[in-house]
């Protein structure tokens, strides 16, 4: 099946700093990618839909100025968590769709 | 988006067949039904997808009745490594977003 990668796989940062997470579709082009967040023992929650060449579409309750999404090419979308705080600590997962939706391995963000 | 309902958890012994049923009463005409498996600290992994009737691949079968208001994922002869959370999702189109429900936590023991 298609492969979606994420980088980094984990990151620890200080409160107030910004963190960028990359999502790449390795063997197919994706005009649309999705970003999810998952807290421990909970389900995945869709944060936003990333559209190549246009603005991302955010789900209700997700701050677009805090979670910046850039989809500059057909194989790369980035999520930047700005001014991160401990409550932003979570597991961030991206996905991209070919025939089915393929998910990346996730990025564990810990904000101290 | 169609809402899905699954059992929160299930237990099974190794070697048994496991059937996980998902209800999706307001599924739309162009919606497909997709099942994913997720291990801790990993992204979800695609298992199987179907529209109606029965679909089978090398790891699972998916049964969908004629009214499509429910679906059943069947895992034959589960092993300990099948312990995971299984999600049933309903959606359609190549760019449509998927909404995850609570999922079913399957625990397989000896």
Q: Tens digit of pLDDT for each residue in B56-94?
A: 999 999 999 999 999 999 999 999 999 999 999 998 655
8 Å CB contact of A43 and B46: no
Note whether B27 and B83 are within 8 A (CB): no
8 Å CB contact of A44 and B42: no
What does the alpha-carbon distance between residue A37 and residue A35 come to, in Å, rounded to a whole number?
7
pLDDT band (50, 70, 90) for residue A100: confident
Q: Is the model's pLDDT at A15 over the cut of 90? A: yes
What does the alpha-carbon distance between residue A87 and residue B25 come to, in Å, rounded to a whole number?
35
Q: Tens digit of pLDDT for each residue in B1-46?
A: 568 999 999 999 999 999 999 999 989 888 899 999 999 999 999 9
Spell out which residues of chain B touch residue A97, defining contact as CB-CB under 8 Å: 94-95
What does the alpha-carbon distance between residue A43 and residue A30 come to, in Å, rounded to a whole number?
24
């Amino acid at each position: 099946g298609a492969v979606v990668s994420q980088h980094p796989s984990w990151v620890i940062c200080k409160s107030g700093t910004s963190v960028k997470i990359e999502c790449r579709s390795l063997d197919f082009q994706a005009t649309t990618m999705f970003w999810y967040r998952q807290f421990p023992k909970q389900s995945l929650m869709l944060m936003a839909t990333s559209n190549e060449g246009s603005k991302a579409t955010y789900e209700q309750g997700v701050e677009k100025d805090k979670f910046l999404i850039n989809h500059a090419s057909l194989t790369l979308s980035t999520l930047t968590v700005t001014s991160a705080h401990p409550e932003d600590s979570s597991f961030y997962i991206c996905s991209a769709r070919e025939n089915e939706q393929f998910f990346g391995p996730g990025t564990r963000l810990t904000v101290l | 988006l169609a809402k899905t309902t699954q059992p929160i958890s299930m237990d099974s012994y190794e070697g048994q067949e496991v059937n996980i049923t998902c209800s999706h009463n307001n599924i739309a005409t162009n919606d497909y039904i997709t099942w994913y498996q997720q291990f801790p600290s990993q992204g979800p992994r695609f298992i199987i997808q179907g529209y109606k009737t029965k679909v089978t691949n090398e790891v699972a079968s998916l049964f969908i009745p004629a009214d499509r208001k429910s679906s059943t994922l069947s895992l034959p002869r589960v092993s300990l490594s099948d312990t995971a959370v299984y999600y049933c999702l309903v959606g359609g189109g190549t760019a449509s977003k998927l909404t995850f429900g609570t999922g079913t936590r399957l625990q397989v023991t000896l």
